[in-house]
Amino acid sequence: MVHASAGFRDGALAWKPVHVIDARRVWLVRHGQSESNAGLPTNGPRVSPLTPLGREQAARVAAAFSVAPDLIVSSPFVRARQTAEATVARFPETAYEEWPVEEFTYLGELHGPSTTSEQRQPFARAYWERLDPAYVCGGNGESFQALVTRVRAFLDRLSGRPEEGLVAVFTHGIFMKAVIWSLFTGVSDPDASAMRNFRQFGGVCDVPNCAIVELRRNGTNGFRVVGGGTTHLAQVSTVQEILD
């Protein structure tokens, strides 16, 4: 996912890529497979750790960097921090920060201890069927409006960075979808129709574990999306519906 420009070296006839880092590029990286993704019971959204496969996927991400990132950012959730560990270990001189790029945890206390994603499905369906962007579920869940506000603050924070170079952000599937959707639609104050549109978008936009979606600075108009990639994962790629 790094640009390649044509170049000939030492008179050789073979074409060889010359890697170039553009100004203000961002890699959004979904965390590796977590125990929740694998269908195991978890004790809330913050603490679900990676599976052994998730650790292997994280190692593949670390190996995918052709140059050191200028900043490594992680969500505070365990699965994202564990995914970032391999990249932090490979580039120990790169600054590491935790930003509020955690997953959209809209079920609140309904994401109970020792429950599986399948067991939480009735609550998840009821949440989305309400189509109320301001609704706070389970006493302490995050509203859809709050998610959109958090996404816009994340993009503003990226835009406000004076440095050029690559920022690697280890985050989560629904949050990544919200970033992409926000850039596509420009919505900042969602109504019921926008919430329905996001739900439909999420249903056709797969973000596998440890997939990489690149954002590139688009002049003064924010960022543009440069698709996603899983070729670095080879046979350890996993795709499953992001249910909650």
- Cα(123)–Cα(242) distance, integer angstroms: 14
What values do phi and psi take at 230, rounded to 5?
A: -130, 10
* Structure confidence at residue 121 (pLDDT): 93
Q: Which of 232, 243, 244 is nearest to 32 (CA)?
A: 232
State the alpha helices, DSSP H only, in 100-143: 121-130
- 184 close to 202: Cβ distance less than 8 angstroms: no
21-236 maps to CATH 3.40.50.1240: yes
- The Cβ-side half-sphere exposure at 63, using a 13 Å CA radius, reads 11
Q: What pLDDT does 221 receive?
A: 53
CB–CB of 87/168 below 8 Å?
A: yes
Determine the pLDDT at residue 9.
Answer: 32
The predicted structure's pLDDT at residue 87:
98
Q: pTM here? A: 0.85
The tokens 């994280």 sit on which residue?
Answer: 58
Contact 215, 28 (CB under 8 A): yes
Q: What is the pLDDT along the chain (244 residues), one digit of tens a residue?
A: 333 333 323 333 333 333 334 457 999 999 999 999 999 998 888 999 999 999 999 999 999 999 999 999 999 999 999 999 999 999 999 999 999 999 999 999 888 788 998 999 999 999 999 999 999 998 899 999 999 999 999 999 998 888 789 999 999 999 999 999 999 999 999 999 999 999 999 999 999 999 999 999 876 558 989 876 666 766 665 655 555 5
Q: Give me the phi and psi of 187, to 5 degrees please.
A: -70, 130
